Copies of this chain bind each other. A is one copy, B any other.
């Protein structure tokens, strides 16, 4: 039994609220338990320099936490004048994860910019961001189809993500902050709805892990992500 009563392979309550910010082409509030992230998808009619004139599009992401999303206040990166290493890692991960399921050659010379802003953090902010951002991205692209700017949705399959870890020697799914702080191992899996992997990241926080532990965590993640795909589908079907 875990701190919050969940079983080892249980997700926290996951909620995705669409059309959360009125100005954005796509926007959701995604909640994994007490972790809450606003994900917006903005359509811009330009691409980065390395893609100009190639007829292809781009999807990129930025990630941030409000200063008081965390237990104690974290200084703003804008005030410090630079984006930190952890932020860089996470926003690159989100961008790669979404690009893996978008056919950018069908997107035209457009960029979709995903902004994931954590307003309350309780573990798993990067996996919640990816899972929610996929829905915001679908809404933004669906809007381009509705306006006739795209002939079909340039999405190959769905993408979602979950964290797993070893806590007290046991593999558990979707760690909250208390578990994350105590975990011996922390892994994040990003998968597509065809049951394939886009990103795998595992870190031994306290103790290196065995091949058996890696497999146990992987099994939990594969099951958890399947549930996330059902939640995404249900929300998008509304």
Contact = CB atoms under 8 A, between A and B. Distances in A.
A71 interface: yes
Given A89-B88, A113-B73, A208 B203 contact: no
Contact of A38 (B66, B77, B87): B66
Interface residues of A, number: 65
A1 interface: no
A138 to B, nearest CB: 16
Contact of A42 (B68, B76, B200): B68
Given A23-B70, A27-B68, A202 B204 contact: no
A38 B72 CA distance: 17
A55 to B, nearest CB: 18
Given A79-B83, A203-B199, A34 B22 contact: yes
Contacts of A62: 67, 76, 79
A116 to B, nearest CB: 10
Nearest to A87: B78
A100 B68 contact: no
A44 interface: yes
A40 interface: yes
Contacts of A83: 78-79, 82, 85
A214 B202 contact: no
A11 B16 CA distance: 32
A96 interface: yes
Contact of A100 (B195, B199, B208): B208
A129 interface: no
Interface string A33-76: 01000101010100000000000000000101011111111001
Contacts of A21: 66, 68-69, 119-120
A198 B192 contact: no
A163 to B, nearest CB: 14
27 contacts: A21-B66, A24-B68, A38-B66, A38-B119, A40-B66, A44-B73, A64-B78, A66-B115, A67-B115, A73-B115, A78-B82, A82-B83, A85-B92, A100-B204, A117-B119, A194-B208, A195-B210, A196-B204, A197-B202, A197-B204, A197-B209, A197-B214, A199-B202, A199-B203, A200-B202, A200-B214, A201-B202
